[in-house]
Amino acid sequence: MKTYRLYQVDSFTRERFHGNPAGVVPNADGLTDEQMQHIAREMNNSETAFILQANEAEADVEVRFFTPTTEVPLCGHATIAAHYVRAIEGSVVSGRGMQKTKAGILPVDIMQEGEDFSIVMTQGKPEVSEPFPEPLVKRIAEALGIAQDSLRKDCPVAIASAGHSKIMVGINSESLLHSLKPDMDKLTEISAEVDCNGYYVFTLHPDAEVLVHGRMFAPAIGIQEDPVTGNANGPLGAYLVHFGICRQLEKDNELKFTIRQGEAIKRDGGMQVQVKIKDHQPVQVKITGQAVVAFRTEIEL
The strand pairing partners of 98, in sequence order, are 107
Specify the DSSP class assigned to residue 132: P
With H, G, I as helix, E, B as strand and everything else as coil, classify residue 286: strand
Return all residues near 164 (Cβ < 8 A) that are at least 6 apart.
72, 73, 74, 75, 103, 124, 231, 235
State how far Cα 258 lies from the chain centre: 14
Contact 100, 63 (CB under 8 A): yes
Catalytic residue among 15, 34, 42, 47: 47
- The three-class DSSP label of residue 150 is helix
Amino acid at 139: R
Q: What one-character-per-residue DSSP string does 156-205 give?
A: --EEEESSSEEEEEEBS-HHHHHH----HHHHHHHHHHHT---EEEEEE-
CB 275 within 8 A of CB 255: yes
Catalytic status, residue 113: no
Rounded CA gap, 79 and 298, in Å? 20
Residues forming the active site: 47
